[in-house]
Amino acid sequence: MIVVLFFSKLTEQAGDEYVATDQRLMEKARTAPGFVKVKSFTAADGERLTIVWWKDAETLRAWREDPEHRSAQAKGRALWYRYFDMEVAEVVRESHHARQTPEAAVELADSPSLRSGS
């Protein structure tokens, strides 16, 4: 899996056109082959971080070369971004944990397979 970390800060010119383009491209990316998920965060100073997960380098490359995405990249450099930094990384390991609710823990403890030691 490939992860893109996109750090950015917008200019004053990044108004309604930017918002509309961003929404349209996010919808398009979500349906693109190889897209896994996206998360975005904004810091108190206005810096933004968008994290996008892709299945592999090939599907990320296809997204990078998408004509509408390319057009938005050019407009972003010219008008919308005060700055951006992008890092692309390969996931080498994953680990997951989810805390159970008290109700789920009771259900699990009452499970016949756990009580019998199997």
Q: Could you tell me the CATH number of the domain that includes residue 69?
A: 3.30.70.100
How does pLDDT run along the chain (118 residues), one tens digit per residue?
A: 999 999 999 999 999 999 999 999 999 999 999 999 999 999 999 999 999 999 999 999 999 999 999 999 999 999 999 999 999 999 999 999 888 877 766 666 666 655 455 4
Domain count, the chain: 1
Evaluate whether 83 touches 75 at the Cβ level (below 8 Å).
no
Evaluate whether 9 touches 83 at the Cβ level (below 8 Å).
yes
Model's pTM, two decimal places? 0.79
Domain around 44: 2-115
